[in-house]
């Protein structure tokens, strides 16, 4: 099972590469490319309608502003689509991308994550793969354990050394 | 020259019919149908890519929530597209439809009007037709004159009778 | 594979039952109960940490106001968690539940759907199950086809009868 | 047919010049000047009421803050007016200019584009001219094709070289 | 000295009449009429530029949506203009009228009051008149005293009778 | 130890009485009256500066719109002040009262609760009293236990009877 | 007649000095000092209740965050109070100061200007003085004329030299 | 009596250390550590349920984004919890942390302070301790007096030297 990562423009790559990176870290296969809803609508149609047969289990789609890519892709495939609201240059504090991804009409869900939350989108895709792939599921649990350990270490260090040494 | 009016769902008709009505009043030919970006994406493609050759001069497109119809249609045609943000049932005060229509990326404009502003969308379409159609242009001027006269009459009536008689 | 549906209070049932209904319609097994993050934190811990071993493939969690249930559950399980922001009685237009579900920190994703979007949460859960369950995947495709057909029928009817007959 | 570009202050020129540039690129004649609703109201009246007879087909008007220029001009001419909300220095994240341009009352439409979206305003004006000017319409189609090609090239490059080489 | 009260439409009268009423109560002379920025721009110009010579000391202007009346009037007169943001039918929770009245550019102030705050606009106008009119100033002081006494009475009644008797 | 409950106007009583009721339920003594920051500033000064010596341990203050009562009282006493943002008639969705109570400058804290959250303000006051009053602390624990039991009962009932019987 | 300028903290001086400067330019006498609602409530009372008898015609009050100074001062004097919402360090985009100054309850108006709009507050104060002071009124008209001339000059320069020379 | 200060991540320390510092200044004992709701949920449970018996009188909890720490801790203890909304890196202007801390459901209060308002959280905790600890109460009064004196000094300096010397 493979995850497809797409984004509206190469300028989204800085944010969206975090999804690719975490999928690599969690041992999930993926492909990544650029598909623009507004500049290459035919390519988007092609991508969305062929994704399932090409072995894609879930799609991570990121876009900014009036972000139509995640919702349009979701309307043309039965596989889960995860949307990443990207804060674009002239964004109104991110509200535009969040609302145009999140507020999909009944029947066409997009699994929306936080603003610029591509890492979480990757983890969510891995969790979906992990539903039936025990290896990936185990990797996610290890990842969660690592996060916990980092907090415990930093807590211990603050308690031992005092907060004044950490500022 | 004809105007195309489309909307995402029949439930938008109550708002969107105002565009049709004002076009009738201003003597502009139009067609009206339902095209859903998320439920009938192929139909939307078909509609957008064939509009110009079918003699459509401008498209008025209304949708609510994560409203992708106006922007997606605009991405597939060289004729002007006017977007009407419709306040849907679970809308977040209209912000979702406004922002997902208004905040289009550079290169793909949508002429956005006020929330539920289908009447203004119709007038705007008429103004576009009126650029080269003197008859329609004249009708718009008459319409503007009528609006003015109504205000002048109501102003006179308030001044003459006093505001207490109007409440 | 079974989907778990939970909500913070019985008053959320009116919204959240749409997730259950659509899962039934799509042939996905589910269980539904009430788990409050703030009134029964131990129960929430118990629910989240045992979900996977009890055969739950994905959790749909709905809550309103400062909605902590989806995010807290997500922090304690490796299976995907879908969050439904419910517009509660004293909600600030839904912003509170949306933001407290959507804006999770890196590492702990919640798949957020639209305000009161429980139906979409159910479909998303079905899409996740459908990744490896062809029967469910087929049901989703049929469901999408039905949605399309309804729009086509209503479009034809508006075109044939004229919009004035529909208002 | 000529497009008129106006803005409230010379400080808006950095944003608004993008409208002029794209009109040049699309082969549309234009004029550009400064007209302030609040500092030169008489000039604004003069500009708006004489625009049509001076051969202006559409007006692009940009302003920031409590942005009255686009709406006031629209109230005094039958030609289409396109409004560009400019994010001014003490703007409240752009909401002020967006709402004071977008939310026009019924009868007086302004075709609003994205925050600082002057390029899109220019393209929209060109689309309006293109309704009856085949040369301009062809230029817009070429422009759309170019945008598409750029995305396809960048997609190919990311697919071939891998995303890690692009960051 | 007389206060001028104007509003964009007769539908604003229900809100705006509170300004007239309180001016009557405070013994300040006023005139009230309808002036629409967008439907009667010439009338607005005429009103604003002649106000001072007609003996108007301050103008109270109310409007909804993209509310340009207060700011435009302020740009054409040296007398103080008080703006009342009216919450119109398709208003976005009142933000549109508030921001398009409040966020005036440097050089052209509008004294903005609360949403639908016409009563306060009237009192503010009276305070301006009261700067040199001792009679009016005295009336305002009496009015403030009355407000205070009402609170004291209601406080005493709640304290004496207990809150349970007041619900 | 006694809690003081104050509010800007008798119209706030419907919301604010929930603070009084829960204090009664938790066995905490209280007094309740009306104090308006804007209509009875002297009374507010008197109330705030004398509260501590009159044996008040904490003050619950509710107000709507530009809500200055909680913050002003907090500036004049060393005892903790809890602020309740009340959603008033012309409130902008409650944002005005929330922000004017919450965003106090450094040095003058107000313990703010949710919009119309007077019940929580009462509980918070009881928690403050309970810091040194074991009886009250015990009552709070019982109250929390009751809340938990209600959820458990309703969960059991939904699980046993099925959600369809609850709608 | 003299204008009183006050602000909550010396850190507001950078913004608020614009009010002082413009009053100087317009030939209006003023005094300027620091009065904090939350740190010096007694001083605020003293200032507000004595302002009129000290010959103050209008007060300009600026504050940030939960900005109570303008409203509280307005509650204790019959002279007009102009409020300047200052965008403080941890402000939520200025919404907090705007709403806590603007949304005053009926009976206690504050003439609110734009975010950081101290210059406009000064001009508004001058307009109030100018109601009966012809000299000041004349200065304001000259000031408005100068603003107009600057726009005309810059318009001419852009028209003559072309916009490309101005970027 | 001791105050417990916790935060979701070491990156919150820069903001949260202000709570520690002011508690030191006011002579209140405290402990400080890191507890993450989403990365160390068991630790959070342990912390919250044991706080009271470990002699903690009040908890100050800071977190950003979808900030669940303060509310979850409050759900598991009868002692007062003070929440500090921290503006995190990808925060939506702070609204996310504010709303997910402030809008707690009835029964589970969190005493919320301003965005990044850790200093105020510390003072509020001290005020709670000061309810029965006269020494601390006295320190708070001294602290309030100092704030007042600083304002008076700066006011005097501005009045004496003139504002022009202070910019």
| Binding site listing of E | 9, 12, 39
Is the Cβ pair G66, F102 closer than 8 Å? yes
pLDDT tens digits, one per residue of D73-127? 999 999 999 999 999 888 898 999 999 999 999 999 999 999 999 999 999 999 9
Q: Which residues of chain F lie closer than 8 angstroms to C88, CB-CB?
A: none
Please say whether the beta carbons of H35 and H1 come within 8 A.
Answer: no
Residues in chain A, pLDDT under 50:
none
Q: Is E95 on the interface with D (CB under 8 A)?
A: yes
Q: Which residues of chain F lie closer than 8 angstroms to G96, CB-CB?
A: 99-100, 102-103
Residue E139 lies in a domain: no
Q: Is F141 on the interface with C (CB under 8 A)?
A: no
Q: What percent of chain H has pLDDT over 70?
A: 100
Q: For residues E13 and E15, what is the distance between their CA atoms, to the nearest angstrom? A: 5
Q: For residues C71 and C62, what is the distance between their CA atoms, to the nearest angstrom? A: 10
Q: What is the pLDDT of residue D159?
A: 97
- Neighbouring residues of D64: CB distance < 8 A, sequence distance ≥ 6: D8, D12, D85, D86, D87, D88, D89, D91, D96, D97, E105
Residue B36 lies in a domain: yes
Of A110, A131, A147, the CB nearest to C131: A131
Is the Cβ pair C32, F163 closer than 8 Å? yes
Q: Is E145 helix (H, G, I), strand (E, B) or coil?
A: helix
Could you tell me the sign of the dihedral formed by the alpha carbons of E64, E68, E74, E76, in that order?
negative
Q: For residues F7 and F68, what is the distance between their CA atoms, to the nearest angstrom? A: 11
Chain D adjacent subunits, 3+ CB pairs under 8 A = A, B, E, G
Phi, psi (rounded to 5 degrees) for E66: -70, 90
Of E117, E151, E164, the CB nearest to F34: E151
Using alpha carbons, select from E73, D120, H133, H130 the residue that is nearest to residue B83: D120
Q: What is the pLDDT of residue E167?
A: 87
Query: Which domain covers residue H13, as residue numbers?
Result: 2-133
Q: Which residues of chain B lie closer than 8 angstroms to E43, CB-CB?
A: 151-152, 155
Is the Cβ pair D152, A14 closer than 8 Å? no
Residue positions counted in chain B: 167
Q: Which residues of chain F lie closer than 8 angstroms to H126, CB-CB?
A: none
Could you tell me the maximum CA-CA distance found in chain H, to the nearest angstrom?
A: 59
Chain F adjacent subunits, 3+ CB pairs under 8 A = C, E, G, H
Please say whether the beta carbons of E10 and E136 come within 8 A.
Answer: no
Counted across chains C and F, CB pairs separated by less than 8 A come out at 53
* Residue C12 is assigned to a ligand binding site: yes
State the first-to-last Cα distance of chain B, in angstroms, to the nearest integer. 45
- CATH number, domain with residue H39: 3.40.50.1970
Q: What is the pLDDT of residue G127?
A: 98
Q: For residues A48 and A76, what is the distance between their CA atoms, to the nearest angstrom? A: 6
Query: Which run of H or of E encompasses F71?
Result: helix F69-74
Q: For residues G50 and G33, what is the distance between their CA atoms, to the nearest angstrom? A: 14
Q: Is D34 on the interface with B (CB under 8 A)?
A: no
Q: What is the pLDDT of chain H when averaged over all its residues? A: 97
Instruction: Measure E79 CA to nearest chain D CA, in Å.
Output: 15
Mean pLDDT for the stretch of residues B107-119: 98
pLDDT tens digits, one per residue of G114-127? 999 999 999 999 99
pLDDT at residue F149 is higher than 90: yes
Angle between helices H41-50 and C41-50 (to 10 degrees): 160
Q: What is the pLDDT of residue G116?
A: 97
Instruction: Measure F86 CA to nearest chain E CA, in Å.
Output: 16
Q: What is the pLDDT of residue D89?
A: 85
Burial code of D49-61, b = ≥16 C-beta within 10 A, e = fewer? eebbeeebbbbbb
Is the Cβ pair A127, C80 closer than 8 Å? yes
Q: What is the pLDDT of residue H167?
A: 87
Q: What is the pLDDT of chain B when averaged over all its residues? A: 97
Instruction: Measure A103 CA to nearest chain B CA, in Å.
Output: 5
Residue positions counted in chain A: 167
Q: Is A132 helix (H, G, I), strand (E, B) or coil?
A: coil
Confidence of residue D3 (pLDDT cuts 50, 70, 90): very high
Please say whether the beta carbons of H99 and C96 come within 8 A.
Answer: yes
Q: What is the pLDDT of residue A71?
A: 98
Is the Cβ pair D34, G147 closer than 8 Å? no
Residue C141 lies in a domain: no
Mean pLDDT for the stretch of residues D10-29: 97
Instruction: Measure B114 CA to nearest chain C CA, in Å.
Output: 20
pLDDT tens digits, one per residue of D154-164? 999 999 999 99
Q: Which residues of chain A lie closer than 8 angstroms to H13, CB-CB?
A: 158, 163, 166-167
Query: Which run of H or of E encompasses D128?
Result: helix D118-130
Of B33, B66, B93, the CB nearest to C158: B33
DSSP B56-122: EEEEEEEEESS--HHHHHHTT-SS-EEEEEE--TT-STTHHHHHHHH-PPTT---EE-STT-HHHHH
Q: Is F79 on the interface with G (CB under 8 A)?
A: no
Lowest model confidence (mean pLDDT) among A123-132, B112-121, D84-93, G58-67: D84-93
Q: What is the pLDDT of chain A when averaged over all its residues? A: 97
Q: What is the pLDDT of residue G13?
A: 97
Q: What is the pLDDT of chain E when averaged over all its residues? A: 97
Residue G157 lies in a domain: no
Residue F151 lies in a domain: no
Instruction: Measure A6 CA to nearest chain B CA, in Å.
Output: 17
pLDDT tens digits, one per residue of A8-27? 999 999 999 999 999 999 99
pLDDT tens digits, one per residue of B31-58? 999 999 999 999 999 999 999 999 999 9
Residue C100 lies in a domain: yes
Mean pLDDT for the stretch of residues E37-60: 98
Please say whether the beta carbons of C93 and B92 come within 8 A.
Answer: yes
Q: What does each C-alpha distance from C167 to A35, B11, B16, E100, F8 come to in angstroms? A: 40, 10, 11, 34, 47
Q: What is the pLDDT of chain F when averaged over all its residues? A: 97
Please report the ipTM that was assigned to this predicted complex.
0.97
Please say whether the beta carbons of C43 and C36 come within 8 A.
Answer: yes
Instruction: Measure C149 CA to nearest chain B CA, in Å.
Output: 8
Q: For residues C64 and C91, what is the distance between their CA atoms, to the nearest angstrom? A: 7
Q: Are strands C2-7 and C56-64 parallel, antiparallel or unpaired?
A: parallel
Is the Cβ pair F39, G75 closer than 8 Å? yes
pLDDT at residue F89 is higher than 90: no
pLDDT at residue C90 is higher than 90: no
Domain count across chain E: 1
Mean pLDDT for the stretch of residues H37-64: 98
Q: What is the pLDDT of residue F163?
A: 97
Using alpha carbons, select from F72, F70, E113 the residue that is nearest to residue G45: F72
Is the Cβ pair G39, H147 closer than 8 Å? yes
* pTM of the shown model: 0.97
pLDDT tens digits, one per residue of E89-133? 888 989 999 999 999 999 999 999 999 999 999 999 999 999 999
Residue B144 lies in a domain: no
Of E102, E132, E141, the CB nearest to G102: E102
Phi, psi (rounded to 5 degrees) for C13: -65, -35
Q: What ranges make up the beta strands (E) of chain A?
A: 2-7, 29-34, 56-64, 81-86, 111-112
């Amino acid at each position: 099972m493979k995850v497809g990562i797409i984004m509206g423009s190469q300028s989204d790559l800085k944010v969206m590469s975090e999804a690719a990176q975490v999928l690599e870290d969690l041992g999930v296969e993926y492909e990544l490319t650029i598909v623009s809803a507004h500049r290459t609508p035919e390519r988007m149609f092609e991508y969305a309608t062929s994704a399932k047969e090409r072995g894609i289990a879930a799609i991570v789609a990121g876009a900014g502003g009036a972000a139509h890519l995640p919702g349009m892709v979701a309307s043309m495939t039965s596989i889960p689509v995860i949307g990443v609201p990207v804060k674009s240059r002239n964004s109104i504090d991110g509200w535009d991308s969040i609302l145009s991804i999140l507020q999909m009409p009944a029947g066409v869900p997009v699994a929306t994550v936080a603003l610029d939350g591509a890492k979480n989108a990757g983890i969510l895709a891995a969790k979906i793969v992990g539903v039936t792939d025990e290896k990936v599921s185990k990797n996610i649990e290890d990842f969660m354990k690592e996060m916990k350990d980092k907090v415990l270490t930093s807590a211990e260090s603050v308690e031992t050394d005092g907060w004044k040494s950490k500022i």
